[in-house]
Amino acid sequence: MQEENNTNDDRTINILVVEDNPVNVFLVKTIIQKLLPRVALIHAENGVEAITKFKDHALDLIFMDLNLPMINGLEAAYEIRQLENSDEHVPIIVLSGERKTDVRAMEMTDDIDDYISKPLRIDAMRKIISKYLNGAAKIIELS
């Protein structure tokens, strides 16, 4: 294992994982923990919980499924954007099964920053984390 040398800060990164499927939760958390040695993972099982966790935690990144109970991922993303201050922006990355309706819905909103297709791959997760943390943390390069 090698560390990327793009870090400006060794602080703990706070990431919210919004996913209701326990297998996907386990997979996302496992991948993130392998890539980021200093991470605090916060979990929400639905869109309503995601909004509450956003209010309660200073987050660096959000990974969110679209198909959630109570309110879906797009609605939760919209509500989160309404709560943000003008000087803050927490990237929201959708975890998508890449159904055509999911992709179309994401293209029609500015509330989503990016998406990763399921099944998740560690290299895709590393690229997204690197892109949106922009050197704020050490990311492990797995060989």
Domain borders along the chain are: 2-141
**Amino acid type, 45:** E
Q: What is the pTM of this model?
A: 0.86
Backbone angles phi, psi at 142, to 5 degrees: -85, 135
Instruction: Report how far residue 97's alpha carbon sits from residue 73's, in angstroms, rounded to the nearest whole number.
Output: 13
Res 5: pLDDT: 44
Res 118: pLDDT: 85
Which CATH number applies to 2-141? 3.40.50.2300
Ordered per-residue pLDDT tens for the chain, 143 residues: 444 444 455 789 999 999 999 999 999 999 999 999 899 999 999 999 999 999 999 999 999 998 899 999 999 999 999 999 888 899 999 988 766 555 565 666 788 999 888 888 999 999 999 999 976 666 666 55
Q: What is the DSSP letter of 15?
A: E
CA angle 130, 42, 61 (to 5 degrees): 30
The string over 43-74, giving b where at least 16 C-beta atoms fall within 10 Å of a residue's C-beta and e elsewhere, is ebbbbbbbbebbeeeebbbbbbbbebeebbbb
66 contacts 43 by C-beta, under 8 angstroms: no
Instruction: Report how far residue 73's alpha carbon sits from residue 79's, in angstroms, rounded to the nearest whole number.
Output: 10
Res 104: pLDDT: 60
